[in-house]
Amino acid sequence: MSAVPDGKKLVRSPSGLRMVPENGAFSSPFYLDEPQWVPDKECPRCMQCDTKFDFLTRKHHCRRCGKCFCDKCCSKKVPLPRMCFVDPVRQCAECGLISQKEMEFYDKQLKLLLNGGSFLVTQGNSEKSEAMMCRLSNNHRYLFMVGVSHLQVELARISSVQILTDGFAPGEKDIHTYTSLLESQYISEGGNSRPSGMLLQYKLPASQEIQQLRLTAHEERKVAASWLAAMHKAAKLLYESRDQ
Ligand SMILES: [Zn+2]
Ligand SMILES: [Zn+2]
């Protein structure tokens, strides 16, 4: 397991207080950098409603996109955990909606991922599978699988995530597929059937060789299905931010 300590420090940015990892290289894969603010002189008018800025109509920057708005178009303060803000911060309407949806991920799915689920894990083309508990590490950087043996997969090294649903084999329809998360290509998102497994492709550190793991829901299937659905959301979030 990773021996890196997960120390955090409080830093002050123009947008508010942030709680960030001591070592930036060890930040959560869900982390987003703060945007560059559009310089004041480049925005004489609100970028949403076109109201001209003057002494009374003051400028505000959205903390998520860095664009410039009047108070009316940028009044909402919304939590933004992906940029590590301690308190809710000012965001434009569009960004506020995205951040609110992400809060659901932080409140629900992320907790499920940290709690884990039990799976039968098959490595590569092996015939053998092993019963393992799979969970996301506390710093969100690894999937830990623990049974008789131990496995760890770094999220940043995952190249594809396929969520398998009941009754379908890989390659058939109704499979949620995220391919090449590293290269940020999106394939398809299928229906709403209950997730029953996951196919992961990833690279080991300092290797270009693709490894494959297959996880099949085991024992508490309902917990495993929720864990897989949460993993699906996580993959989507990672995919979308790599594409931004
Ligand atoms: Zn406005
Ligand atoms: Zn915005």
For residue 143, pLDDT over 60 is answered with yes
Tell me how crowded residue 197 is: count the other CB atoms within 10 A of its CB.
23
180 or 85, greater pLDDT: 85
- pLDDT number for residue 186: 40
206 φψ region: left (φ > 0), alpha (ψ -120 to 50), beta (else): left
Distance from residue 61's CA to the centre of ligand 1 (Å): 11
| Distant-in-sequence, close-in-space partners of 112: CB < 8 Å, separation ≥ 6 | 226, 227, 230
Q: What ligand has the least distance to the C-alpha of 62? A: 2
Helix (H/G/I), strand (E/B), else coil: 170 = coil
244 or 116, greater pLDDT: 116
For residue 44, pLDDT over 50 is answered with yes
Strands (E), 111-157: 117-123, 129-136, 142-146, 150-154
Report how far Cα 4 is from the mean position of its chain's Cα atoms. 21
Residue 134 phi, psi (nearest 5)? -115, 130
User: Is residue 190 a contact partner of residue 176, using CB atoms and an 8 Å limit?
Assistant: yes
Distance from residue 236's CA to the centre of ligand 1 (Å): 31
Q: Structure pTM?
A: 0.80
When the pLDDT of each residue in the chain is averaged and rounded to a whole number, the result is 84
Q: What ligand has the least distance to the C-alpha of 57? A: 1
Tell me how crowded residue 62 is: count the other CB atoms within 10 A of its CB.
26
Distance from residue 87's CA to the centre of ligand 2 (Å): 17
Helix (H) or strand (E) run with residue 223 in it: helix 221-243
HSE (side-chain half, CA atoms, 13 Å) at 236? 16
Report how far Cα 54 is from the mean position of its chain's Cα atoms. 39
Q: Which domains does the chain have, with CATH numbers?
A: 28-112 (3.30.40.10), 116-243 (2.30.29.160)
Q: What ligand has the least distance to the C-alpha of 58? A: 1
Helix (H) or strand (E) run with residue 110 in it: helix 110-115
For 67, 135, 136, the CA distances from 110, given in Å and listed in that order, are 29, 10, 8
For residue 175, pLDDT over 70 is answered with no
